[in-house]
Structure 1
Amino acid sequence: MEHVQRVLEYSKMKQQLIEHVASSLGRQKAMELVPSTSLDEVVKQQEETAEASNVLRLKGQVPLGGITDIRAHIKRAAIGGSLSATELIDIASTLYGGKRLKFFLEEIIDEGHIQVPLLEENIALIEPLSQLEKAIKQCIDDNGFVLDSASNALRTIRHQMRSYESNVKSKLEQLTRSSSTRKMLSDAIVTIRGDRYVIPVKQEYRGSFGGIVHDQSSSGATLFIEPGSIVTLNNQLTEAKSNERREVERILAELSVQVGEEAEQLLINVETLASFDFIFAKAFYAKAIKAIKPKLNDRGYLDLRQARHPLLPAEEVVPSDVAIGDNVRSLIITGPNTGGKTVTLKTIGLLTLMAQSGLHVPADEESELAVFEHIFADIGDEQSIEQSLSTFSSHMRNIVSILDQMNENSLVLFDELGAGTDPTEGAALAISILDYVYQRGALAAATTHYSELKGYAYNREGALNASVEFDVETLRPTYRLLVGVPGRSNAFAISRRLGLSESVIESAKQQINSDATQVEKMIAFLEESQKSAQVEWVKAETIRREAETVKKELELKLASFEKMREKMMEEAEAEANKAITNAREEAEVIIEELRDLQKEGAAIKEHKLIDAKKHLDAAVPKLVSKKQKQVKKRAEKAKRIPKVGDEVKVLSFNQKGSVIKKVTDNEFQVQLGIMKMTVELEDMQLLEKAPEPTKAITTIRGNDAHVKSELDLRGERYEDAMQRVEKYIDDALLAGYHQVSIIHGKGTGALRKGVKQYVANHPRIKSARDGGMNEGGLGNTVIELK
């Protein structure tokens, strides 16, 4: 397999893949990538890549930043080792990166726009370990510096250090500013030697300051002296620094113990994040090379459509269509040198390796590849100089090894089969080898120059000819693969184009027997037929695309016409309503006048006046819009009045929900996800069988039933209170709150500070502020959630 991967340039393809990883974890996974021979495993890997590709199409990116390889740190902590501040902050950063990725994917899953069952299964393995992350970040900043707030002892020690340091600097600066001592100094500065503060004194004034000499200049003219007046202060500062170092080591050791306690879960998190980095790298790579998920089989069938070699520039590569397997077990490719025969072989082999590695392949939709137990290749000049083997001997040794190992579940690729020896013997060997491979049931593709093999596919069952096209006019290959047509000799045509005498060419033709001439004519006819069919296909494809364009234009025009018609109907209805309104107003005046006449004694019956008004109301046109007709038609499908608990579909939103309350005979309150809304009966369709509620909806309903908009911590112990805060924030997020309050009181200020620190580091908290005058003031923290 290593030999095959080398000649098919599998490692170069992996280097392209590695460019898309986000961390060293993903890089290691990509470096270790090897093809699988299990169809079930390959199908799963391909589906993982497809799910990741769907996520990228939906979101455009995936949050994988901040993740590092912390496995060595975890293992050292697990055996009792103490980690450095930077190692601990790497662990916290990786925990945060895992939590962010988990939230990102869970949000996609909850939205339900795409199905990602394999990614959902993997994301469940990640445990946020928020307590450990918080403990580290409360003690260490992002630059790996242990904060003063990490412990009360460290805060006190650093306060002392700053005081001692200030006193030392102050006394030394007095000396540097004093007119009596300034002339004794080489420079009026305070510097450090051996972690102690000193001043630069001229050699001749050494005895004027006393104290300790810590260093001297290269010339010896300047001595760096710690004056006796500050030795005690420097000693105090040095002792404080030692105390600081011991306290920092104690804090780091304590955090390392916590890491060691979570070592098992941390390693699971890291391994899962490595898998996600690798899976999304495959998806990014597929996007970069415009690859698709191929169909897969285990019966040795290949159907590559517009396949492209991923290592060739996209603007230069010529796609190929290749279909072998089932009845066709051998593909014989002929054609000129540098015409693309070897590239075709490598494309078949490399795309098969990619598919068996769980990678999408650069080809068109509906392409299909097989999962082989073995892939063999004899490509290129494998001559061994050390063994003094000829080219033919080197190839033959490789072929012998292939024939010994292959079986019916193998793919065998031969480049220039039988080359390097006498043409007659070489052609005979090539035919015999291909027959042997066919008898063993393996799938084979071979390139050759031998004319004897051009007729091989016509005389052998299960064999197919193909050739790479050559343009005699330009004397260049087109790199197009013509399946079903053997390559023909272009020697005479090329010679004629280059100016060789016609008499010489005619003399050469007489040296060729009639059978060979007939074969060449047949091949020429097949090539012309192939080209003609290709031209006709291009014309048909052009007509099809034009028809699709016309169809789309007509659909747009029809939609525009329907919209215009609806608008005109609405305008007509408005004008009719206006006219009817005017008529009604005039009629009301007339009726009123008739009533007045009736009072004066005219014989007009009241019921006739009422009938006239009814007829006038009935004359108002009732124009029904298309949307109203659709709603009415939907309503007619309802079989019975829904009850509380029934599952229904709200037609105007195209969403499923459940009835939770009957408002009126014609209105019901429906739960749609986290929303409750009142829906009219005609806008609902009763579902025969209620679908199982999703996990996210169940959780939200449960929390919404008991979560209040404020949390009262007064009287709580600090540790218990912080645990309640963390749980409350999670519940409030699930309940869909946008703003909540945490009442901690004023007291000593410990609870208030703890709450402020926690909310400042929470990724789902948008902002936090103290309560206003009517909100409890400093005793209340108001939080806005994302």
Structure 2
Amino acid sequence: MIYPASFEEKIGFVTLREQLQERCLCPIGKEEVDAMSFLVDYDSMMKRLTETSEMMVILSEEADQWPVNYYIDVRHWLGRIRVEGTFPTENELFDLQRSLQTIDEIIRFFRARQDRETRYHHLKELVNIEHFPAILKELDRLLTINGVLKDNASTELARIRHELFQVQNSISRKLTTILRQAQDEGFVDKEASPTMRDGRLVIPVSPAFKRKVRGIVHDESATGKTIFIEPAEVVEANNRIRELQSEERREKIRILTVFANFIRPQLVALQTAYQILGIFDFLRAKALLALHQQAIVPHVEAACIVEWHLAVHPLLSEMLQKQHRQIVPLDMKLDEKQRIILISGPNAGGKSVCLKTVGLLQYMLQCGLPVPVHESSRFGFFNHLFLDIGDEQSIEDDLSTYSSHLKHMNYFLRKGDGQTLVLIDELGAGTEPQIGGAIAEAVLHRLVKNGVLGVVTTHYTNLKQFADTTEGLVNGAMLFDRQHLQPLYQLQIGFPGSSFALEISHKIGLPEDVIQEAKGKAGTATVDLERYVQAILRDKRYWENKRQKIHQQEKRLEELVARHEVAQDELKAQRKDFIAKAKQEATQLLSDTNAMIENTIRRIKESAADKEITREARKELESFRQKVVTEEAGRAPVVNKSHSKSVTQHKKPSVAKEKPLQIGDWVRLTGHASSGEIIDVQGDNITIAFGNLKSTVKKDRLERISKSQVKEWTKSSLNAGTTADETMRQRKLNFRPDIDVRGMRGEEALIAVQYFVDDALMLGIERIRILHGTGNGILRQLIRQYLSTIHGVKHFADEHVQFGGAGITVVEL
């Protein structure tokens, strides 16, 4: 139940209906918008919401696949042809053909998506209707692409039109001959041509020569300077055309009547199909509006609760967007423990907007419309929505403002229960404050006792105190910025709000003596209470901000700790892998070494210590040792520069001592990553090729590296080069070849131009434009003096006069 009857007007839902109708494509969809109402059946509401949600998915992901043409309402003439002997017009037949094709396309859309059975489940249930292939086939046979009956729609129609065409050609030829002869004799103007009057072909003749052309006068021009004569030679032919046209009209009626008889048995099914077409039009309008409002279908429970996060009044949000302002979202919670929120605060602080937002969003949801809230919100389901807002005094009913409020309160107290959401603006207002406040307190107490949920706004201090001590009631405050004396439009639950009447009086400019007198009349207790409330709100907001910052820091700290733990685990795993691999390599090296030593000893023993064999065995052993040392030097990991340096200092002397550097070895400079190949050795002077660059370096500044390291560094360099190229490419794509320095000081403009030209040269831009304006020419002169000193500047000159002239310098680089 909705109360009062003007509920939709008061919360602004009428505007939403208008916005929905604007998005409908046909009258059937608009009828569905008009029929939309507050649903008190939970399953029906959820079905409407789910259908809209599925349509939102279609419009978000497959909008180009959804048919949007020819949503045409043909129900009026479908109802008309129920009577035997009636028939549609050609235009009506054309509307039927196009709209049935749209219905067929909708059916095919869902049949082509059988793999998404669960995704569009509820919408697929709607299209469980016929798609009339036989009717479409017959319409294709009868109509051209322009919606006209085809010549071959029947044999008789084809004969009539063929004869009609021949007679018209015959008349045209005769008229042309007569007209040319009359032109040659000077009876008719040279530019004249046959025309049509009363459905008959005639020629225009000057009145002075009307006796010269035999025939029937059918008309004359408005000026009387031209008369239109039907020559006697074509009168019979024109008569025949009239006869044939009548025959054609009768045959078309016969064809249309036959078609009406053909579809008459399916009229009920057709009416149902068009009703479904209207429902899809309605669903599309709802989905479009929801996407425009950034609305969602939230979590809904079959219980009386309100737990909203970042709720937005859609109409207010749209209005503020046009003014380039941001709306302040609303958080609201109503449940068994917190049944009624009593909102207080300054005038124009957002209390009524908060009230309307609650009413509008709950009403939207139970009408099957998505709502603009955060996805974490929870919505409940109510059987009754009661609203008391605005002035409803009535002269006819002898009701004052306060009397109308009492009338509403009486209704709320009699009808309100645990399934009711009550919204009351300025409870108790409109009468003497002391009595009005007392009545309001009693009403509020009874509403809580009846178990209703609701939002109530007030300025009465006794109600704030009552809410603070009554279970089920909770205070709420609309926050106010005391420093700038302006409302913040934020709802704070848990504390009463202040009216800030004195502060607003100061801002408006009320005389100070009047304000001081008002303070004295209000009494110290009242002023102090207001001050305490404001102090509590200020402190609460301060600690709320503090708590939020601490929460953010804790969250960041948790992220850092988690990242640290992950990194530590990775390092431990790498350490284990390194140790295991080192042990494996050491074991293998020890095994190979022992085998080599044993083999050498065996050979020496077997040769009875032959000098030549012993020398050769020792040489092989030495070569093996050199190989082991070299491989170990190449495998030594470089953790950082200092560690790399210490490793080099320990390894290099032994390598150099064991095996001198020679041509073909790969080396790098100590402490550097650059590597090169030795191409010449002259004592301590070693020549190295670093790519295309050759350099001679002292031997003690070099360290040998393995080929595997060379490959790894080369790959890294290539990757770095690729990254740099990509960065350069992105910079070039994002570079704008124009700069505007108008309004800058000379030095500031010159610095901006310097950076701009440097970037253009680095990115290889060939042409840039500098907009400096004309003015007195100082900026232009400074910039051009600078450009003349740059070697990369090929040429500069004024822009073409059509594009700015001397106010723009065009630079070729």
CA distance in 2, matches of 1:537, 1:364: 22
Paired position in structure 2 for 1:99: 104
1:21 maps onto 2:24 in alignment: yes
CA contact (8 A) 2:344 2:499 kept: no
CA distance in 2, matches of 1:548, 1:233: 99
The Cα of 1:533 is off from its aligned counterpart by 3.9
The structure where helix makes up a greater share of residues is: 2
Paired position in structure 2 for 1:110: 115
Paired position in structure 1 for 2:180: 177
The Cα of 1:100 is off from its aligned counterpart by 0.8
Paired position in structure 2 for 1:39: 42
1:443 maps onto 2:453 in alignment: yes
CA distance in 2, matches of 1:11, 1:551: 54
The Cα of 1:309 is off from its aligned counterpart by 0.5
Which amino acid in 2 is paired with 1:196? R
CA distance in 1, matches of 2:397, 2:185: 83
1:260 maps onto 2:270 in alignment: no
Q: How does 1:517-596 map to 2 (within 5 A)?
A: 519-520=529-530, 522-539=532-549, 542-543=552-553
Paired position in structure 2 for 1:303: 307
CA distance in 2, matches of 1:545, 1:251: 78
CA contact (8 A) 2:306 2:332 kept: yes
* Of 89, 112, 129, the match for 1:84: 89
The Cα of 1:520 is off from its aligned counterpart by 3.6
- Deviations along 1:736-769, one digit per CA (max 9) or x if unpaired, are xxxxxxxxxxxxxxxxxxxxxxxxxxxxxxxxxx
Aligned with 1:83: secondary structure? coil
CA distance in 1, matches of 2:554, 2:231: 96
CA distance in 1, matches of 2:253, 2:505: 85
Question: What is the Cα-based RMSD across aligned positions, in Å?
Answer: 3.1
More off after superposition, 160-169 vs 197-206: 197-206
CA distance in 2, matches of 1:555, 1:23: 62
Distance change in 2, residues 1:520/1:48 (3 Å):
same
Distance change in 2, residues 1:360/1:179 (3 Å):
closer
CA distance in 2, matches of 1:92, 1:550: 66
CA distance in 1, matches of 2:381, 2:533: 34
CA distance in 2, matches of 1:30, 1:153: 47
CA distance in 1, matches of 2:135, 2:175: 45
More off after superposition, 340-349 vs 283-292: 283-292
Which amino acid in 2 is paired with 1:266? L
Q: How does 1:349-360 map to 2 (within 5 A)?
A: 349-360=359-370
CA contact (8 A) 2:485 2:503 kept: no
CA distance in 2, matches of 1:197, 1:162: 14
CA distance in 2, matches of 1:310, 1:218: 60
Which amino acid in 2 is paired with 1:420? G
CA contact (8 A) 1:38 1:371 kept: no
Aligned with 1:360: secondary structure? coil
CA contact (8 A) 2:28 2:73 kept: yes
Distance change in 2, residues 1:554/1:358 (3 Å):
farther
* Of 406, 409, 416, the match for 1:399: 409
Aligned with 2:333: secondary structure? strand
Distance change in 2, residues 1:408/1:185 (3 Å):
same
- Deviations along 1:397-454, one digit per CA (max 9) or x if unpaired, are 3333333333332221111111121111111111111112222222221111112212
CA distance in 2, matches of 1:5, 1:555: 57
Distance change in 2, residues 1:3/1:495 (3 Å):
closer
* Of 253, 265, 285, the match for 2:289: 285
CA distance in 2, matches of 1:442, 1:182: 100
Paired position in structure 2 for 1:475: 485
CA distance in 2, matches of 1:169, 1:175: 10
CA contact (8 A) 2:437 2:463 kept: yes
- Deviations along 1:328-372, one digit per CA (max 9) or x if unpaired, are 221111011111100000000011110110111111113222322
* Of 189, 192, 195, the match for 2:193: 189
Task: Give the unaligned 5+ runs of structure 1.
Answer: 562-786
* Of 485, 488, 505, the match for 2:495: 485
1:58 maps onto 2:61 in alignment: yes
CA contact (8 A) 1:109 1:120 kept: no
CA contact (8 A) 2:206 2:227 kept: yes
Aligned with 1:78: secondary structure? coil
Which amino acid in 1 is paired with 2:482? V
The Cα of 1:492 is off from its aligned counterpart by 4.1
Which amino acid in 2 is paired with 1:154? L
The Cα of 1:73 is off from its aligned counterpart by 2.2
Distance change in 2, residues 1:267/1:540 (3 Å):
farther
CA contact (8 A) 2:345 2:500 kept: no
Which has more radius of gyration? Answer: 2
Q: How does 1:239-250 map to 2 (within 5 A)?
A: 239-250=243-254
Paired position in structure 2 for 1:325: 335
The Cα of 1:136 is off from its aligned counterpart by 0.8
Q: How does 1:610-649 map to 2 (within 5 A)?
A: none
Report the identity percentage.
32
CA contact (8 A) 1:68 1:90 kept: yes
Which amino acid in 2 is paired with 1:99? D
CA distance in 1, matches of 2:213, 2:109: 67
Paired position in structure 1 for 2:211: 207
CA distance in 2, matches of 1:103, 1:552: 52
CA contact (8 A) 1:42 1:358 kept: yes
The Cα of 1:528 is off from its aligned counterpart by 2.7
- Deviations along 1:480-517, one digit per CA (max 9) or x if unpaired, are 11111211242444556678899987776566566546
Q: How does 1:333-412 map to 2 (within 5 A)?
A: 333-387=343-397, 389-412=399-422
CA contact (8 A) 1:78 1:261 kept: no
CA distance in 1, matches of 2:248, 2:550: 82
The Cα of 1:217 is off from its aligned counterpart by 2.9
- Deviations along 1:661-719, one digit per CA (max 9) or x if unpaired, are xxxxxxxxxxxxxxxxxxxxxxxxxxxxxxxxxxxxxxxxxxxxxxxxxxxxxxxxxxx
Q: How does 1:677-756 map to 2 (within 5 A)?
A: none
